[in-house]
């Protein structure tokens, strides 16, 4: 691994940034190429890291693989889900699935040895008949109620099938992490917990899991060494959604779910909270981590649920102090 060339797809995000820094530190001779469709404002300064602005088109990917020899690929480019029209949803779905298939095809054609794909626990769906803990064999029902999750569900299913079909040729890992939270992230759950007008349901209080962004970055680094397979990713332990919200914002509001839904619909653009997230405030979607603990036994997660939320609270307090200064 120390002499290899790694490609990271979706390299602009906060999680990718943390992961790249950990990789450069752990492997002193590793070369990394990061690509994204977005302009990078604060690039990582290292002679071993190169960031490239790239349109996610087949021709661009083909040129990238033609010009470089990649031994491993980290595919972190997940779509941000939001309420959009059916026509735009279908277009995005086609682009997401086709783009993923292009990457998988090129990895095979160019003798990539390791492929790590970041999915999400949202593929399972939050439903009232979920068992207490969902293992990796549980059906993916995330898009039954929310069409905006169709792309992540179909991408996950396609990647899992591809992983099994090509297990003799390429080592692949598919990760389904629980809620990832942290000050450098701008995902739905972090936005929800840190918003000044955060709220929790008055009439529901499901248990939820969280993984700190630093721990998730460590998991991604270790994924390059673990055995191929599909893994739920979560630390042990869980907390009620009410306690989670109040730990980050003690002044959070309590409202019935039907008002939360209407409020979120009206303020979605400002809050940045996708509509499907509301179901995760009503029904449980807890992951079994048995397989993860066996496969990733060489790393120790530093943050349990309580400490991860406490760190997010510290971040919010620091931001408030900066605004007051």
What is the Cβ-side half-sphere exposure of residue 191, based on CA atoms within 13 angstroms? 15
Model confidence band, residue 269 (pLDDT cutoffs 50, 70, 90): low
Q: Which long-range contacts (CB under 8 A, 24 or more apart) does 59-64 make?
A: 61/102, 61/103, 61/106, 62/106, 64/7, 64/33, 64/35
Averaged pLDDT, 83-106? 64
Look at residue 77 in the predicted model and tell me its pLDDT: 77
* Domains of the chain listed by start with CATH number: 5-324 (3.40.50.720)
Q: Average pLDDT, whole number, for the chain?
A: 89
pLDDT tens readout for residues 114-141: 999 999 999 999 999 999 999 999 999 9
pLDDT of residue 268: 54
Confidence of residue 199 (pLDDT cuts 50, 70, 90): confident
Asked if pLDDT for residue 69 goes beyond 80, the answer is yes
**Residue 175 phi/psi, 5° resolution?**
-110, 135
Judge whether residue 147 has pLDDT over 70. Answer: yes
pLDDT of residue 267: 55
**Band of pLDDT at residue 80, cut at 50, 70 and 90:** very low
pLDDT at 2 over 60: no
Residue 144 binned pLDDT confidence (cut-offs 50, 70, 90): confident
Segment 139-158 mean pLDDT: 87
Token representation of residue 77: 């480019």
Tell me the pTM.
0.92
pLDDT surpassing 80 at residue 201: yes
Instruction: Scan for tokens 């919010």, then name that residue.
Output: 316
Per-residue confidence band for 1, with pLDDT thresholds at 50, 70 and 90: low
Quick check: 324 pLDDT over 70?
A: no
Q: Nearest 5°: phi and psi at 50?
A: -125, 125
Over residues 27-63, the pLDDT tens digits come to 999 999 999 988 888 889 999 999 999 988 889 999 9
Distance between CA 147 and CA 114 in Å, rounded? 31
pLDDT over 90 percentage in the chain = 69
Given a cut of 50, whether residue 24 has pLDDT beyond it is yes
- Residue from 304, 114, 135, 132 nearest 232 by CA: 135
- Joined together, the tokens standing for residue 89 give 């949803």
Task: Give the strand pairing for 229-233 and 171-177.
Answer: parallel
Q: What is the DSSP string of 198-259?
A: -EEESS---EE-EEEHHHHHHHHHHHTTSPSEEEEE--S--EEHHHHHHHH-TT-EEE-HHH
- Choice between 47 and 96, residue whose per-residue pLDDT is larger: 47
Mean pLDDT, rounded, for 60-67? 95
């Amino acid at each position: 691994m120390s002499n290899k060339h790694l490609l990271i797809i979706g390299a602009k995000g906060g999680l990718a940034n943390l992961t790249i820094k950990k990789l450069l530190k752990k492997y002193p001779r590793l070369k990394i190429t990061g690509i994204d469709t977005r302009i990078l404002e604060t690039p990582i300064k290292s002679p071993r890291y190169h960031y490239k602005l790239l349109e996610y088109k087949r021709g661009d990917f083909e040129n990238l693989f033609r010009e470089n020899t990649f031994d491993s690929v980290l595919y972190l480019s997940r779509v941000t889900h939001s309420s959009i029209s059916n026509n735009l949803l279908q277009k995005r779905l086609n682009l997401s699935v086709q783009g993923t298939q292009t990457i998988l095809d090129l990895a095979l054609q160019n003798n990539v040895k390791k492929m790590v794909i970041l999915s999400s626990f949202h593929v399972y769906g939050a439903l009232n008949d979920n068992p207490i803990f969902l293992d990796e064999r549980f059906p993916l029902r995330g898009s039954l109620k929310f069409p905006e999750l169709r792309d992540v569900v179909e991408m996950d299913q396609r990647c899992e099938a591809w992983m099994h079909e090509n297990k003799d040729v390429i080592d692949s890992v598919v990760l389904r992490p629980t809620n990832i939270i942290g000050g450098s992230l701008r995902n739905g759950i972090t936005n929800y917990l840190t918003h000044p007008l955060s709220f929790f349901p008055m009439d529901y209080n499901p248990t939820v899991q969280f993984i700190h962004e630093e721990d998730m970055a460590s998991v991604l680094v270790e994924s390059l060494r673990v055995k191929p397979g599909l893994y739920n990713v979560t630390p042990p332990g869980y907390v009620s959604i009410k306690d989670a919200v109040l730990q980050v914002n003690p002044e959070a509001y309590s409202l019935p779910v039907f008002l939360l839904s209407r409020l979120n619909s009206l303020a979605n653009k400002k809050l940045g909270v996708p509509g499907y997230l509301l179901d995760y405030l009503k029904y449980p979607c807890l992951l079994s981590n048995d397989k993860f603990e066996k496969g990733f036994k060489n790393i120790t997660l530093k943050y349990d649920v309580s400490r991860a939320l406490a760190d997010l609270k510290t971040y919010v307090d620091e931001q408030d102090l900066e605004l007051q200064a």
